[in-house]
A and B are shown apart, each in its own frame.
Chain A
Amino acid sequence: DIVMTQSPDSLAVSLGERATINCRSSQTVLYNSNNKNYLAWYQQRPGQPPKLLIYWTSTRESGVPDRFSGSGSGTDFTLTISSLQAEDVAVYYCQQYYSSPWTFGQGTKVEI
């Protein structure tokens, strides 16, 4: 199974500042035939189901604000919130869908 490891486990960011979350996979999630990284990011606010933010490493889901961006390739990925808003307080998860079983990182809690 591919192990996904996020860092840090938690971070506190001031309103309007940048938040950066890292995700590392135990093996590549880059599919060479289409040059796509099979990596997604989710946001989970307290008491709610997860919400898809980004897929294919950097494609924002419809309706997701452009302050959220994803980058990386191979085994190392980053989710960046360029200017933290109060509503961004949540736990963020990365997920690989390159190889079954699909696996998630342990989560990163973002606080103000």
Chain B
Amino acid sequence: DAKTTQPNSMESNEEEPVHLPCNHSTISGTDYIHWYRQLPSQGPEYVIHGLTSNVNNRMASLAIAEDRKSSTLILHRATLRDAAVYYCILRANYGGSQGNLIFGKGTKLSVKP
């Protein structure tokens, strides 16, 4: 399975942008980069995903390096509600077990008022 590396924790101030990095040097050409987050006492929730191009949605932006060996999740204005564990996951573009979501330990984001 392709692996990802994330910092264990990060801190941010409320209403400031946050850049959460993820390294995935062994990514294959058909792996999608997915981000999920888990708020305290809740199940994980989908944030964003991409393949090669940068992606934007209402929650965040995903910046993917040209060589695809790293990516950055961008929260444009952090709120207290964004305090969560953020998981960067590679997902193979195949059916069966190769498409399963395999979680690492993620980055715990703390947001200060």
Same complex for A and B? Answer no
Report B's interface with A, CB cutoff 8 A.
Answer: none
